[in-house]
Structure 1
Amino acid sequence: MAMDTIDASSPPFHTAASGHPRHFYLAVDRLQFKMPTVVELLDLVGQRPCLPIIVCCSTRDDLDSLCSSLSSLPFISSSALYSDLADDQRASILDKFRHLTARWNHINHVGATNEDDAEKDDRSHMIIVTDACLPLLASGELPFNAHLLINYDLPAKKETYGRRLTTCLTADGIVINMVVGGEVVTLKSIEESSNIVMQEMPMQILDIL
């Protein structure tokens, strides 16, 4: 299902209490439509200046496919965290992303206050990562603190879903779960066991970012 087929008359979403993530799902009819749909989604949300985005998947094959398909998006710069990255390369990617999240917070709470800030690269930045390469909080790595987390692969277990939230998302961020066909059962299971509400992604997604 492409994004333009989402019914604009869907029930209105409810804003979560301040300080809590908002959880949405984006339904895709068939597996072959999943990649074109996430490309279309990111092409849209990437127009939000300086937006920090994490795209999380389960396997190296999906990571490779996402990197290939998303590399040419005009409004987004992207990096990938591979398990065989050298420590200094990984640290550089994480440091760059944290600087961007700090700039996002500054712009959205204070605004661009000087010419130097206004002239900086306004593209959104995205890290594509598998569960195996998420920040190791127990080892002292800091979370990404992205504003938007896209779960390209829906985790089968609530523990994996929770770890993605903890390591990837800021407290008041937004989660968009890509859901294909039979995964609705898994989505409902995570929703019920984690005591969260999953709502259909609104057409006006830019308005809530």
Structure 2
Amino acid sequence: MATEVPLSGGAAGVRHYYAAVGNKEAKLATLLELLQTLQVVSRRPFAIICSARDTLDSVIFTLMRSRSFAVTAIHSDLTEKERELALTNFRRSAFETPAPAPNGASDATAASEKEGAPESEGAERGFAGGQEQQGAGEQPVCVLAITDVCLKALPKELLPLGLGVLVEFDLPPSKEVYTRRISTLFGGGRDRRSQRCVVVDMVEAGSIAAFRLLESFVAGQVQEVPVRVGDIFL
């Protein structure tokens, strides 16, 4: 089990894990497989943070192509008003109970998604628990994809977002960036402990120095994502 960061250092109430990948191509495939498994073992909405716009575009394309998630993308091309509207809509979709779909509508949607969804290629490891299909009538899990620049500019009155799962596609380059990610998405220490917040970092081969820096931010050991992904919520 991953170390839960204590009050004396790092972000209280946050459990940290990492998924090791060999290169950028495998990173996207592993991300997709991980997220597909997460949406089976936990229906909680989650966020993906990237350091750069180009990386964000690749992540968004991969998720949209899978047709498995309700993706909200917030990037630098949006105006301030558009970002605020996108964030408001994400919060509404993520935390409000949706109305039941008309008879047959969910089945048609599920069939369409199954027919058009490609299989992941190039993933370097498999995750148990993600083989089941999304149940009929279930809404796709809401995903917020955002860059650090836009995260910093989000309207304060809509924060924190109160999410419980964060995937750091790019490792935080500084403690300031790391702290902003945690506080903006999860909230304060009491909020984080009550939600059992989880962070998963995607770590490429050759990123040992950046990974060691991350461990200094969290003031504890970062464990590898278990094969049974649901164990990260225990």
TM-score band by shorter chain is 0.7 to 0.9
1:67, 1:128 within 8 Å by CA — same for their partners in 2? yes
Match for 2:72: what amino acid? S
The structure-2 alpha-carbon separation of the partners of 1:121 and 1:95, relative to structure 1 and needing over 3 Å to count, comes to farther
The structure-2 alpha-carbon separation of the partners of 1:161 and 1:125, relative to structure 1 and needing over 3 Å to count, comes to same
Is 1:70 aligned to residue 67 of structure 2?
no
Q: Percent identity?
A: 30
The structure-2 alpha-carbon separation of the partners of 1:135 and 1:96, relative to structure 1 and needing over 3 Å to count, comes to farther
Count of equivalent residues: 186
1:135, 1:142 within 8 Å by CA — same for their partners in 2? no
* Within-5 A mapping of 1:14-163: 14=2, 16=4, 20-48=13-41, 50-103=43-96, 122-134=139-151, 136=153, 139-163=156-180
Match for 2:76: what amino acid? S
1:94, 1:144 within 8 Å by CA — same for their partners in 2? no
> How big is the shift at 1:117?
5.6
In structure 2, the residue matched to 1:195 is 219
The structure-2 alpha-carbon separation of the partners of 1:17 and 1:190, relative to structure 1 and needing over 3 Å to count, comes to closer
The structure-2 alpha-carbon separation of the partners of 1:137 and 1:72, relative to structure 1 and needing over 3 Å to count, comes to closer
1:101, 1:145 within 8 Å by CA — same for their partners in 2? no
Q: Give RMSD over aligned pairs.
A: 2.7
Q: Secondary structure at the match of 1:146?
A: coil
The structure-2 alpha-carbon separation of the partners of 1:202 and 1:89, relative to structure 1 and needing over 3 Å to count, comes to same
The structure-2 alpha-carbon separation of the partners of 1:155 and 1:196, relative to structure 1 and needing over 3 Å to count, comes to same
Give structure 2 stretches of 5+ with no counterpart: 7-11, 102-136
- Decide which moves more: 52-61 or 161-170: 161-170
Match for 2:80: what amino acid? D
2:171, 2:214 within 8 Å by CA — same for their partners in 1? no
1:135, 1:144 within 8 Å by CA — same for their partners in 2? no
Give structure 1 stretches of 5+ with no counterpart: 1-12, 105-115
Q: TM-score, normalised by structure 2?
A: 0.69
Q: TM-score, normalised by structure 1?
A: 0.76
Tell me which protein shows more strand as a share of its residues. Answer: 1
Q: Secondary structure at the match of 1:203?
A: coil
Whole-angstrom distance in 1 between the partners of 2:81 and 2:43: 24
> How big is the shift at 1:194?
3.6
